[in-house]
Structure 1
Amino acid sequence: MSTYLQLIVLFGSLSLMSIGGGNAVLPDMHLRSVHQHHWLSDTQFADLFSISQTAPGPSILIVGMIGYAAGLPVGGVLGGIVGGFVATAAMVIPAASLVYAITLFWQRAQESKWRIAVEKGFAPLTVGLILASSLVMSRAADHDWRAYLLTAVCTLIFVRSKVNPLIVVAAAGVIGYFGIV
């Protein structure tokens, strides 16, 4: 199967499962792009995730970067650019189409008991998917006890305080820059 078709199948299917945003399907994205298709290594995936989260714009930027990495062997830089566009379109178009169709129905079912039940059920589902994403990223990025400790400390700061996350991220970046982790 061609790389571009693999990108369409992968991100088209992930698009329809990304309840709560693109980060909710990060574990499957990691599994398939690193271990199944071998477009990236664990470290490259963690690096792309970090870049996509710190860059301005939507968190789904990682999809374009994975598509770029997948397309490089096919056609160099131009193949990478095409791969980035293909992956991004495959991730956005199915979900956007489904959301549009569901919104039309959802507006008519405003007082339905099913609607209320579905809305209450999505909250724990989304939290679970995001926790799974956090675990996968920690395993991909952390390779010794110091990195696990830094991840745990940052998580505690995020959960227990109102410190601006950018300060925590900057501090962790400085720690990584100086080779402490």
Structure 2
Amino acid sequence: MTDSALQSYSPWQLVRYMLALGTWGFGGPVALVGYMYRDLVEQRRWISEADYKEGMTLAQLMPGPLAAQLAIYLGYVHYRLVGATLAGIAFVLPSFLMVVGIGAAYVTYGGIPWMQAVFYGVGACVIGIIAMSAYKLTTKSIGRDKLLWAIYLVSAVLTVATQSESVFLFLGAGLLVWFLRARPKGWFGGRLNGIAASAPLAGLLFAGTTDWHLLGQIGAFFAYAGSFVFGSGLAIVPFLYGGVVTEHHWLNDRQFVDAVAVAMITPGPVVITTGFIGYLIAGFWGAVVAALATFVPCYLLTVLPAPWFKKHGKHPGIVAFVDGVTAAAVGALAGAVIVIAQRSITDWVTAALAITTATLLWRFKKLPEPLIVVVAALLGLVLHPLMTHT
């Protein structure tokens, strides 16, 4: 899509879109990046295909939550720091308010027994949603390119086999396509290393910034998680478990499982579970510190290298590198569908829900996902007790 074919929009139109996506965008990072492509590139035509691919590449190379970083970069494309800041806040705020509200109910009533029933339906429905999103991204990004297909398949298989995503795979894929199609010129590596070297700095910004010892510990831990964990929600969950349950003993196993369930049944980024965890540890301010410490490093790691990406993004070497990283990233997202499905599809009912969701979205292109999610949640409340007693 050329710049001349793009439609103009105001920052507040983008804010309204990100608020809506943060409120109704179910399905985790795979679905959310698919929604952004469908809505902003295909339908509204606010963002060009090239800018979207650059944003995806940057989000995959930098640590932190994938969908939030892409939202921040897309805000940066036409409105720079103001757009990036507004888009990032608007995208994260709705789900943060939701998990704080759920956290308050959880603490007040001693757990959320109905959550398993809701997740039973929603988790299966989400598989159908993200499978369709991954399919659309695959067809748009890979096309008939044999080299990109090879990278895509290797990335998908490795994601399923290891149940995690590796930045080294993305970098290797980008460098391979760059080497085969653009030939190294000697300048690229130094630039990329300079960007990557900024990663550890962001992790230090929130360590010890509060006088309250517990909030300081929360801030330091979640800043580290936001600064050094790649692979978005897929990889950060086991990392959080190691720190929150095993190392610090802030939560027990049951509470942590509930925290992950909250992240999956609420819209927006999966990593917003850090807000829920923070609330269980230290109340409202624990939620605020945990969420800020998680998302501010990812904001910095998006906007700091963004000017370089905008300036050099059209260079043939960068285009080849972006193509390679995009193929690996989309392959990893497709693999993530299988990984998440293994956890969400537990019997014939959940399998039927997932297949039905994918079929409906394939047949009815304009069917709103939130409606499907609400129906799936209601079905879960009805069917889960029946399935557990049979």
1:87 and 2:290 matched: yes
- Report deviation, 1:159: 4.4
- Report deviation, 1:142: 3.9
1:66 and 2:265 matched: no
Structure 2 equivalent of residue 30 of structure 1: 237
- Report deviation, 1:111: 3.4
Which shows bigger deviation, 138-147 or 171-180?
A: 138-147
- Output the TM-score relative to the length of structure 1: 0.68
Which shows bigger deviation, 34-43 or 167-176?
A: 34-43
CA distance in structure 2 between the partners assigned to 1:27 and 1:7 by the alignment: 16
**Higher-Rg member (1/2):** 2
CA distance in structure 2 between the partners assigned to 1:31 and 1:148 by the alignment: 25
What residue identity is the alignment partner of 1:130? Answer: L
Structure 1 equivalent of residue 262 of structure 2: 47
CA distance in structure 2 between the partners assigned to 1:37 and 1:167 by the alignment: 34
CA distance in structure 1 between the partners assigned to 2:339 and 2:293 by the alignment: 23
Q: Which runs of 5+ in 2 are unaligned?
A: 1-215, 246-250
Q: Which runs of 5+ in 1 are unaligned?
A: 18-23, 54-58, 74-78
- Report deviation, 1:160: 5.1
> CA, structure 1 residues 98+34, in 2 after alignment: closer, same or farther (shift >3 Å)?
closer
Structure scoring higher RCO (CA < 8 A, sep ≥ 6) equals 2
> CA, structure 1 residues 126+83, in 2 after alignment: closer, same or farther (shift >3 Å)?
farther
Matches within 5 A, 1:142-157: 142-157=345-360
- Preserved contact between residue 63 and residue 87 of structure 1 (Cα < 8 Å): no
CA distance in structure 2 between the partners assigned to 1:98 and 1:10 by the alignment: 13
Structure 1 equivalent of residue 341 of structure 2: 138
Secondary structure of the 1:179 match is helix
Structure 2 equivalent of residue 128 of structure 1: 331
Structure 2 equivalent of residue 76 of structure 1: none
- Preserved contact between residue 43 and residue 141 of structure 1 (Cα < 8 Å): no
User: What is the number of equivalent residue pairs in this alignment?
Assistant: 161
1:102 and 2:297 matched: no
CA distance in structure 2 between the partners assigned to 1:137 and 1:172 by the alignment: 17
Superposition RMSD on alpha carbons, in Å? 3.0
What residue identity is the alignment partner of 2:264? Answer: F
Secondary structure of the 1:178 match is helix
CA distance in structure 2 between the partners assigned to 1:46 and 1:140 by the alignment: 12
- Output the TM-score relative to the length of structure 2: 0.36
> CA, structure 1 residues 118+29, in 2 after alignment: closer, same or farther (shift >3 Å)?
same
- Preserved contact between residue 69 and residue 80 of structure 1 (Cα < 8 Å): no
CA distance in structure 2 between the partners assigned to 1:42 and 1:129 by the alignment: 24
Q: Deviations over 1:57-85 (max 9, x none)?
A: xx23x434434324524xxxxx1333322
